[in-house]
Amino acid sequence: MRKKVSIVGAGNVGATAAHWITSKELADVVLIDIMEGVPQGKGLDLREAMPVEKRDSNVIGTNDYADTANSDIVVITAGIPRKPGMSRDDLLNTNHKIMQDVVSKVVKYSPNCIIIVVSNPLDAMAQAAYKMSGFSRNRVIGMAGVLDSARFRTFIADELKVSVENVTAFVLGGHGDTMVPLPRYSTVAGIPITELMDKETIARLVDRTRNGGAEIVKYLKTGSAYYAPSASTVEMVEAILKDKKKIMPCAVYLEGEYGVDGLFVGVPVKLGANGVEEIIQIKLTDEEQAEVNRSAAAVKELVGVIGV
């Protein structure tokens, strides 16, 4: 029996994640959205691509959460983007209400699933989903660090003119301006980038990573990134479905790790069949720890607004 992944939100990120999952033949996919016709149309279109791709993954599009029943993983991409004139608190409160509706239905139909949150503001929405679901902390995970690290890896590979396959990178902390790229733990074929670039170059790449999403929004003007976010989400999905025990940076609920208690913050974790199977604690310098603390404080401010 094939695994089942439901994706809440049939916009660019959700639909593209469905594409990656089916093209890898990882699972059957249920694409759900409140917009009538949109998930059905995209789901059918994607299913009709399977004979060409020679994949047997099934895809259905729906507006009914009953179709998502007994999902192994539920990916939540639903939410609205920030619009002109909208304050951060407006965005937070609107997406929090959407998350309340979504999570209650996810829990009803798939009480044993693992939830991956992609909706923004990421860390606050992951914390909201965790508190509302009542799930153990290993079963609610935020996707941010995989994406941020992928962007950092891209920029490092471009700068050094090497294969992206040679580059590893770690980005900790919250998703946004306060993220914490760690050059000491970022390597090219095992060599720390601190030995391959000067401080000014590294600082430039770190800054570009922090503003990676905004850079794409500036180009697109009316939208935001979706290829890299969806691919990053599916890397997490694959690690869980295949029980890979893969270490990657994800937003998880910390209970004292890294000096943070009671907040979702991005840290390296081991992902496997049970979701978060281990939180990997690495040694940080005083400066790096201070940056993680600043990032956690920014998350605390956001969750305070919505009371989670």
Distance CA 243, CA 82 (A): 36
The tokens describing 55, both together, are 């994949």
Q: Which of 4, 151, 153, 175 is catalytic?
A: 175
Query: What separation, in Å, do the N-terminal and C-terminal C-alpha atoms of the chain show?
Result: 37
Query: Does the annotation mark 19 as catalytic?
Result: no
CA-based nearest residue to 165, from 147, 150, 181, 179: 150
Structure tokens at 249: 């940076």
CA dihedral 89, 223, 123, 100 (to 10 degrees): 70
Distance (Å) of CA 132 to CA 20, 33, 103, 128, 246: 29, 20, 7, 6, 27
Gap between the Cα atoms of 113 and 245, Å rounded? 18
- Catalytic (active-site) positions: 175
